[in-house]
């Protein structure tokens, strides 16, 4: 378990991270979302031990994260690497820096390249790799030393849909043996691999955003089997009624609506209800609501 | 030590892949040849410029001495055009790693920031010295061949002084790289500060004898073991250590 407590960081007299506390559970994939300049990358760099915070602590198994450098894998937003190196040379370079010996590297490099789907590009020069391949090489260098905590900074932002799909599938596979935190703008994509999300804006944690389907208690959608009979709107004080089509109506109010009460009233009015449900809210919509208020 | 070796070796490999190992010595060879060549054929060159009769050269003017020719090569050619090209060659020593994400990938591993900085300083310093020394050696041979013998100890002193100055410029560029993020402003500022550090001690040698550029203001016949030279060497070494130390302090907060 990784515990982040009251993290605070100022750079050039500007508060970048403001009293951030949260926990990442083992084998969980946590999504970090927020607008540009929210402090996501800085937070991830603090988690990686690269930046020391002014206040607060980051602990992993009750010890400072800095004592766990060997257990951390990090993928930066930029994955240009040394473009003259081949994939193998690049991994060998990072492996040596991680303290892996030659025998271990000889075994690990093909395994890792296989895992990220780059085995055929083992001797390919990085300069000739596509954006998606570089991103996968970035993940390969991050998992080369078999870390238990993986930090991914926008791993799929610059990729096409198929590239994003590949990265998400890879993250799903890695999740089985690692704890992962991933910053992203692509909420719909991240939904497939993240268990929950944290929203950050202006360096402040706005709160969690779980990956469950949330509903809007202020809006109810009713579908009928046959066209709804005419009714007086006075039966529904302070409720706005929108007719989407003859068999579909939307009821909205300024306060939470009671689903069963509305259903009873409509049945009394002679409606043959096919379905009645609160309006679902998408992850992106909830995120936008959250950041708009701050 | 293994980390230092890995980082340094990669910098050398990169210099090889970018042909820096080849073009930098070639450039300094060209610089090293230019000054003796110009002085050797000055009469011929001057005769072909000016009016139809050319420029008349005083036939009784003293012949250039080998020490003056060699000193002019190092302190003139090497410290002007050479310095510009050297700074251009290593102005991105931190900025390029920052832009490509390499710095993040390296520093999130068990790599000390000081070792990372030191490897940058050492590898770029050695690559620069390698190019400069080959050029200086060529110039020395050509000067001796055309202008007569030159004390190896004096030549060594001039080369050593410029080597120390080069190492100081590398550490200065490293320090400026911890303040600025882009390679071009880093290069321009390094060049301006370097030129000032050479110009000021030559204007006030008695006051600014402790400045790193003071080594280049010493008269060409200064003995290797003279007190002014030894003070210059010690001052330059202290300046190198100070700039490296300051870079390390800055890099703790700015390595991202």
Interface of A with B in 80-139 (CB under 8 A): 80-84, 93-94, 96-99, 138
Q: Percent of chain A having pLDDT more than 90? A: 34
**Positions of E strands within chain B:** none
Q: How many CB pairs under 8 A join A and B?
A: 71
**Positions of E strands within chain A:** 2-11, 14-24, 29-33, 55-60, 63-64, 72-75, 149-153, 179-183, 196-201, 204-210, 214-224, 239-245, 248-253, 273-281
Instruction: Say if the Cβ atoms of B256 and A45 lie within 8 Å.
Output: yes
Note the pLDDT of residue A163. 82
Stretch among A106-120, A257-271, B50-64, B125-139 having the lowest mean pLDDT: B50-64
Note the pLDDT of residue A50. 86
Residues of A in contact with B100 (CB under 8 A): 78, 80-83
pLDDT 10s digits, B80-122: 999 999 999 999 999 999 988 899 999 989 899 999 999 999 9
Residue B54's nearest CA partner among B67, B72, B64, B42 is B42
A287 touches chain B (CB under 8 A): no
Q: pLDDT band at residue A212, thresholds of 50, 70 and 90?
A: low
Mean pLDDT along residues A220-233: 82
Note the pLDDT of residue A121. 92
Note the pLDDT of residue B138. 95
B47 touches chain A (CB under 8 A): no
Q: In the predicted model, is pLDDT for residue B242 greater than 90?
A: yes
Tokens 């080597």 sit at which residue? B163
According to DSSP, the residues that pair with B124 across neighbouring strands are: none
Residues of A in contact with B102 (CB under 8 A): 80-82
Instruction: Say if the Cβ atoms of B110 and A51 lie within 8 Å.
Output: no
Note the pLDDT of residue B53. 63
Note the pLDDT of residue A213. 57
How far A80 CA sits from the closest chain B CA (Å)? 5
**Residue A221, SS3?**
strand
B6 touches chain A (CB under 8 A): yes
Q: pLDDT band at residue B256, thresholds of 50, 70 and 90?
A: low
Tally of CA atoms within 13 A in the half-sphere of A292 that contains its CB: 6
Of A11, A80, A93, the CB nearest to B101: A80
pLDDT 10s digits, A93-143: 999 999 999 999 999 999 999 999 899 999 999 999 988 899 999 999 999
Note the pLDDT of residue B56. 65
Mean pLDDT along residues A218-226: 86
Q: Which domains does chain A have, with CATH numbers?
A: 2-210 (3.40.50.300), 214-292 (3.30.70)
pLDDT 10s digits, B154-172: 999 999 999 999 999 999 9
CB A174 within 8 A of CB A180: yes
B102 touches chain A (CB under 8 A): yes
Stretch among B47-56, B99-108, B221-230 having the lowest mean pLDDT: B47-56
Mean pLDDT along residues B233-255: 91
Residues of A in contact with B255 (CB under 8 A): 50-51
Output the six-digit token pair for A25. 């559970």
How far A138 CA sits from the closest chain B CA (Å)? 9
Instruction: Say if the Cβ atoms of A97 and B106 lie within 8 Å.
Output: yes
Instruction: Say if the Cβ atoms of A94 and B105 lie within 8 Å.
Output: yes
Q: pLDDT band at residue B140, thresholds of 50, 70 and 90?
A: very high
Determine the Cα–Cα distance for residues B34 and B77; give it in Å rounded to an integer.
Answer: 8
Minimum Cα–Cα distance from A66: chain B residue: B110
Stretch among A162-176, A207-221, A261-275 having the lowest mean pLDDT: A207-221
Mean pLDDT along residues A223-235: 80
CB A37 within 8 A of CB A225: no
Note the pLDDT of residue B132. 95
Determine the Cα–Cα distance for residues A192 and A184; give it in Å rounded to an integer.
Answer: 13
B110 touches chain A (CB under 8 A): yes
Domain residue extents for chain B = 2-254
CB B244 within 8 A of CB B122: no
B2 touches chain A (CB under 8 A): yes
Note the pLDDT of residue B201. 86
Determine the Cα–Cα distance for residues B191 and B203; give it in Å rounded to an integer.
Answer: 18
Pick among A10, A43, A75, A76 to test the B interface (most B CBs inside 10 A): A76
CB B64 within 8 A of CB B122: no
Note the pLDDT of residue A23. 92
Minimum Cα–Cα distance from B15: chain A residue: A84
Q: In the predicted model, is pLDDT for residue B123 greater than 60?
A: yes
Most confident of A285-294, B87-96, B203-212: B87-96
Strands A29-33 and A196-201, by their bridges, are parallel
Pick among B9, B16, B95, B109 to test the A interface (most A CBs inside 10 A): B109
Note the pLDDT of residue A284. 73
Q: In the predicted model, is pLDDT for residue B48 greater than 80?
A: no
Note the pLDDT of residue A265. 87
Mean pLDDT of chain A: 86
């Amino acid at each position: 378990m990784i515990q982040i407590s009251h993290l605070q960081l100022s750079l050039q007299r500007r508060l970048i991270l403001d009293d951030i506390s949260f926990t990442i559970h083992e084998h969980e994939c946590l999504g970090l979302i927020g607008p540009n300049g929210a402090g996501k990358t800085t937070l991830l760099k603090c988690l990686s031990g690269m930046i020391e915070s002014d206040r607060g602590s980051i602990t992993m198994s009750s010890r400072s994260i800095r004592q766990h450098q060997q257990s951390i894998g990090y993928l930066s937003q930029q994955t240009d690497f040394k473009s003259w190196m081949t994939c193998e040379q690049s991994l060998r370079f990072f492996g040596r820096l991680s303290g892996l010996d030659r025998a271990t590297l000889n075994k690990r490099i093909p395994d890792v390249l296989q895992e990220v789907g780059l085995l055929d590009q083992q001797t390919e020069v990085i300069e000739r790799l596509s954006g998606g391949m570089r991103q996968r090489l970035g993940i390969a260098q991050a998992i080369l030393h078999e870390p238990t905590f993986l930090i991914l900074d926008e791993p799929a932002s610059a990729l096409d849909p198929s590239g994003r799909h590949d990265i998400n599938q890879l993250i799903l596979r890695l999740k089985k043996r690692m704890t992962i935190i991933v910053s992203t703008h692509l909420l719909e994509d991240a939904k497939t691999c993240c268990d929950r999300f944290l929203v950050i804006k202006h360096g402040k944690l706005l709160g969690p955003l779980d990956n469950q389907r949330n509903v809007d208690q202020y809006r109810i959608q009713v579908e009928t089997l046959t066209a709804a009979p005419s009714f007086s709107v006075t039966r529904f004080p302070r409720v706005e009624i929108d007719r989407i089509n003859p068999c579909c109506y939307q009821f909205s109010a300024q306060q939470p609506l009671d689903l069963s009460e509305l259903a009873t009233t409509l049945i009394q009015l002679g409606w043959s209800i096919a379905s009645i449900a609160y309006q679902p809210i998408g992850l992106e919509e909830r995120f936008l609501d959250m950041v708009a208020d701050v | 030590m293994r980390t230092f070796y890995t980082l340094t070796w990669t910098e050398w490999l990169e210099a090889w892949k970018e042909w820096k190992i080849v073009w930098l010595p070639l450039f300094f060879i060209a610089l090293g040849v230019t000054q003796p060549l110009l002085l050797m054929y000055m009469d011929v060159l001057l005769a072909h410029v000016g009016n139809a009769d050319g420029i008349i050269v005083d036939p009784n003017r003293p012949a250039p001495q080998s020490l003056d020719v060699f000193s002019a090569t190092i302190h003139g050619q090497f410290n002007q055009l050479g310095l510009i090209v050297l700074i251009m060659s290593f102005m991105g020593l931190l900025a390029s790693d920052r832009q490509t994400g390499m710095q993040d990938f390296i520093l999130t591993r068990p790599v000390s920031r000081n070792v990372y900085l030191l490897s940058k300083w050492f590898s770029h310093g050695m690559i620069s010295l390698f190019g400069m020394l080959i050029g200086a050696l060529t110039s020395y041979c050509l000067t001796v061949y055309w202008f007569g013998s030159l004390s190896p100890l004096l030549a060594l002193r001039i080369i050593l002084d410029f080597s120390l100055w080069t190492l100081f410029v590398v550490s200065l560029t490293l320090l400026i790289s911890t303040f600025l993020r882009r390679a071009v402003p880093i290069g321009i500022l390094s060049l301006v500060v370097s030129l000032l550090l050479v110009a000021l001690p030559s204007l006030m040698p008695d006051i600014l004898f402790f400045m790193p550029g003071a080594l280049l203001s010493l008269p060409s016949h200064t003995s290797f073991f003279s007190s002014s030279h030894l003070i210059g060497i010690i001052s330059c070494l202290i300046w190198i250590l100070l700039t490296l130390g300051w870079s390390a302090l800055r890099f703790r907060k700015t390595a991202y």
